[in-house]
């Protein structure tokens, strides 16, 4: 027998892409540890960018709007990826071993 526990998302859930603002997916994006949090957010952004780059679910008559939205999303996720890579370098550089 397998038991699953679902938890509601935190008040300020960061990963609405997977949780839909309803159920915590335990992605780590809300972690108290800043390194774990940055790694998780970087992973989510990379996954979302990959989805946009490989999008192939065009709706007849809506292609132009879809292309604009996808182009906007691609720019957004590329910026976020640059930010979280830089943030990780800063955080990992400040770790004292």
Burial of 40 (0-12, 13-18, 19+ CB in 10 A): buried
What whole-number distance in Å separates Cα of residue 63 and Cα of residue 56? 10
**In the predicted structure, residue 14 carries a pLDDT above the cut 80:** yes
Domain assignment present for 1: no
Residue 11: predicted pLDDT: 77
Domain that holds residue 65: 32-93
Concatenated DSSP letters of 52-67: HHT-----TTTHHHHH
pLDDT value for 53: 98
What pLDDT score does 83 carry?
Answer: 98
Residue 12 in any domain: the answer is no
- Average pLDDT in the 59-80 region? 97
More confident residue, 5 or 84: 84
Residue 53 included in any domain: yes
Pick 10 or 42 by higher pLDDT. Answer: 42
Looking at residue 2, what is its pLDDT? Answer: 72
State the residue for tokens 């997977």.
Answer: 18
Whether pLDDT at 54 is above 60: yes
Total domains in the fold of the chain: 1
Residue 26, domain member (yes or no): no
In a domain, 38, yes or no: yes
């Amino acid at each position: 027998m397998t038991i699953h526990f679902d938890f509601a998302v935190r008040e300020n859930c960061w990963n609405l892409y997977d949780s839909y603002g309803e159920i915590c997916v335990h992605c780590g994006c809300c972690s108290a540890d800043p390194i774990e949090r940055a790694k998780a957010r970087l992973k989510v952004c990379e996954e979302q960018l990959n989805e946009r780059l490989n999008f192939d679910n065009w709706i007849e008559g809506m292609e132009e709007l879809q292309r604009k939205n996808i182009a906007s999303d691609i720019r957004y996720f590329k910026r976020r990826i640059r930010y979280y890579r830089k943030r990780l370098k800063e955080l990992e550089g400040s770790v004292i071993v």
